[in-house]
């Protein structure tokens, strides 16, 4: 059996932001705590690195995974490229 313990968390935010959070929660039929918890949980599902990179750069992410390139090899490549 999985036991989940609820722990109290105090956040300090701008008054306007607090009011917006209360309005959004009410419109969704949820508490601010539940809405915030769902938001934080959703962060784990998102890969923010890919979203911030330009498309070409993002498409190259992980291409070299599993390959070891030393600094020496990289410097050799640059010398050959620019000579």
d(CA 80, CA 24): 59
List the domain boundaries for the chain.
Answer: 12-55
Over the stretch 42-76, which tens digit does the pLDDT of each residue have? 888 766 554 677 888 878 888 888 888 888 988 99
Residue 70: how many other CB atoms lie within 10 Å: 8
The pTM score is: 0.50
Instruction: Give 5-48 pLDDT, tens digit per residue.
Output: 888 989 999 999 999 999 999 999 999 999 999 998 888 876 65
Q: What angle do CA 4, 43, 12 make, to 5 degrees?
A: 75
Q: Where are the beta strands (DSSP E) in the chain?
A: none
């Amino acid at each position: 059996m999985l036991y989940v313990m609820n722990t109290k968390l105090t956040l300090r935010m701008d008054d306007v932001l607090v009011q917006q959070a209360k309005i959004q929660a009410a419109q969704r039929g949820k508490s601010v705590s539940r809405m915030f918890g769902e938001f934080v949980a959703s962060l784990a599902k998102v890969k923010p690195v890919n979203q911030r990179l330009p498309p070409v750069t993002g498409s190259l992410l992980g291409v070299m995974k599993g390959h070891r390139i030393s600094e020496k090899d990289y410097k050799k490549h640059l010398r050959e490229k620019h000579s």
